[in-house]
Amino acid sequence: MNDRKRYSEKNVPAKRRLKWQVKVLLAAIVLVIVIALVVLLLSLAGGTTINKNASSADSSIAQDSSDISTSGPASEELSSESGALSKNASSKASSKAKSSAAASSKKADTSFTGNAESVLPDSSLTPEWAAKELDMWYLYYVDFDNRMPENYVPPVVKINTKYTRNSGFEFDSRCVDQLRRLLNDANNSGVDLFVYSPYRTYASQKTIYNNRVNEIKNKGKSQAEAEIEAAKRIMPPGCSEHNLGLALDFNIASDSFTGTKPCKWLMEHAADYGFIMSYPKDKVHLTKVDYESWHYRYVGVDHAKRMKAKNMCLLEYRQFLTSIKNGK
């Protein structure tokens, strides 16, 4: 009995150590489980945050896209352009893919994209349509008898310097894309065409015109005679299409442009992009401006093609639309 008691007492420390080791092991297991749970919870929380941020970003992008698609240019005093711009904006997205596909399928050195818009037949032109078009910004007419307001400033943007000789050149933002296409297609077809003189402010036009008047006066002409002579090539401020932001001179404002490859290309293709020669040789008696083979302005594709087919300058064409408006 005493031997058994002594054996039991002898093994007490060993049993205590075993119990302590078991407790330590259990504690370690519990700690590992706790750490794993914490890591799992943090991981789940992080994923939720990322999803929320992604959703927020998507919502922000969607909102930005909505803002961009619904915003339009500032309204203009001279026309009811906002309705036409809304139409163009709504159709732009649907036509973008078609335009890209058409452009990519063409050979750069032999063809041009132009604009496939067809001309409406005269029989479909209604008085309501004519009245609306006559008030549109792209058909606004200026000359000696139709001066624009001195404070009028069109919505111009910078022209890509790829096709200019001046980094500060500007053109109307509503048709600058058509100008870009025209220049791009001409140059891709091997025609060296570039912008020589586009938009001019009222003040710059006044300076150019007055300088020309003074040059003529110095040759012995009176003020009145000098003003009339100067206006045959440089319109007074407020009378020039350059002030509208819709017109430009190509390559060089000189008779030397006539008959050149760029001149011939424009005469054949400019209407496909909505541009017309403002002062044709056979219309001098109407425009009161000398023939300028280098000067073109934007009127829209449908109108440009119809004017070309009918051999009309803008003054004649507006009279044609006015007759339709009046039911004649």
305 vs 37: which has the higher pLDDT: 305
12-26: average pLDDT: 70
In the predicted structure, residue 157 carries a pLDDT above the cut 80? yes
In the predicted structure, residue 247 carries a pLDDT above the cut 70? yes
37-59: average pLDDT: 55
DSSP string, 290-307: --EEEEEEE--HHHHHHH
DSSP label at 33? H
The answer to which of 39-53, 82-96, 213-227, 271-285 has the lowest mean pLDDT is 82-96
pLDDT band at 98 (very low <50, low <70, confident <90, very high): very low
**CA-CA distances (angstroms) from residue 109 to 106, 115, 184, 189, 315?**
9, 18, 11, 4, 36
In angstroms, rounded to a whole number, what is the distance separating the alpha carbons of residues 222 and 228?
Answer: 10
In the predicted structure, residue 54 carries a pLDDT above the cut 80? no
Residue 197: its H or E element: strand 195-197
pLDDT of res. 237:
93
The answer to which of 16-30, 85-99, 180-194, 283-297 has the lowest mean pLDDT is 85-99
pLDDT of res. 134:
97
Residue 248: its H or E element: strand 247-250
29-58: average pLDDT: 63
Q: Which of 3-17, 44-58, 89-103, 303-317 has the highest mean pLDDT?
A: 303-317
What does DSSP say about strands 156-158 and 170-172: parallel, antiparallel, or unpaired?
A: antiparallel
In the numeric block, the tokens 């009378």 are attached to 239
User: pTM (2 decimals)?
Assistant: 0.64
In angstroms, rounded to a whole number, what is the distance separating the alpha carbons of residues 201 and 199?
Answer: 7
115-130: average pLDDT: 81
pLDDT band at 233 (very low <50, low <70, confident <90, very high): confident
Catalytic center residues: 292
The answer to which of 6-10, 144-148, 167-171 has the lowest mean pLDDT is 6-10
- Give the distance between the most distant pair of CA atoms in the chain: 151
| CA 268 to chain centroid | 24
For the record, the structure tokens of 307 come out as 């004017």
Strand order in the sheet with 292-298: 195-197, 247-250, 292-298, 275-279
pLDDT of res. 46:
55
pLDDT band at 56 (very low <50, low <70, confident <90, very high): very low
The answer to which of 4-13, 108-117, 124-133 has the lowest mean pLDDT is 108-117
In the predicted structure, residue 5 carries a pLDDT above the cut 80? no
DSSP label at 275? E
312-318: average pLDDT: 98
33 vs 178: which has the higher pLDDT: 178
Query: Mean pLDDT of all residues in the chain?
Result: 79
Terminal CA-CA length for the chain: 139
The answer to which of 74-83, 135-144, 271-280 has the lowest mean pLDDT is 74-83
Contact 218, 230 (CB under 8 A): no
